[in-house]
Structure 1
């Protein structure tokens, strides 16, 4: 997807490798909102991880841009060992300053359009159990608990499934 504008919303486009640091910063800002004590300390290099995701030939990273600034990101690809008609949404973040402004909905709509164009029938994701805001957002978009992947008792993630609508 090169560029798309949802009426009155941000431009949704493919992320560029040189935007990895900006995307990593947005990712960490968004994640920090649902960890009660902040994002756990780590030596993990999120900038390199995002650059790798952007450059993956089998993956897609979309970003929502408004006034020249990245305000939302989505990363997806076929899950390891998964069927070709399934896509996994690995990361989906909107800048906390832009929550409830329609950015997430516009970005989700762009993801669904790409999944449909790619012949995907099902999307899956996991969401942190403490991230109630994201769970509510996904529910409004039509995601439901994944009956094939119930959470383990000691897991901190809920697994959701989405049926990609046909045109």
Structure 2
């Protein structure tokens, strides 16, 4: 597997990863109706626009030689904004590769620390982040999904020079 900058041609694959991962990961954390209404075609159009107009290298994809794009990460302005990998490819080291690429991108932009948001109930993601040196900083937020309030926690970590990790 390799990580590379996303291109507009990756929009459909990113949208598929985005929707399918949300539907699998959040099925007991976000209302079912909200997850069922997620639409790959709509997300594809949103991703095409973002990849055409956004700053370069803010979105990177994880590409499997046989399966194509199986994950992605977005990072800008001191924040890892999203990191998702299809369930069948989780636990293979791809998440660490994507996170390293995101942190390297933030360092290259001059950031000295990074933040990210995670659902308070997403124990698997929280363990992943904590193993990578992230810690909750005490800031919380409430987002609504399908009319249901869901708590998010902000995590933070310093960005030291050198390889991410």
Same fold (TM over 0.5): yes
**Structure 1 residue 89: deviation in Å?**
1.4
Structure 1: runs of 5 or more not aligned = 1-9, 79-86
How far apart, in 2, do the equivalents of 1:22 and 1:152 lie? 29
**Structure 1 residue 108: deviation in Å?**
0.8
Q: Give 3-state SS (helix, strand or coil) of 2:129's partner.
A: helix
Q: Give 3-state SS (helix, strand or coil) of 2:100's partner.
A: helix
How far apart, in 2, do the equivalents of 1:114 and 1:129 lie? 26
Q: TM-score, normalised by structure 2?
A: 0.79
* Larger RCO (CA within 8 A; separation ≥ 6): 2
User: 22, 27, 34: which one pairs with 1:35?
Assistant: 27
Q: Give 3-state SS (helix, strand or coil) of 1:123's partner.
A: strand
CA contact (8 A) 2:8 2:48 kept: yes
Runs (4+) off by over 6 Å: none
Q: TM-score, normalised by structure 1?
A: 0.78
Q: Which residue of structure 2 aligns with residue 164 of structure 1?
A: 159
Aligned residues: 149
Question: What is the alpha-carbon root mean square deviation over aligned residues?
Answer: 2.3
Structure 2: runs of 5 or more not aligned = 144-148
Q: Which residue of structure 2 aligns with residue 99 of structure 1?
A: 90
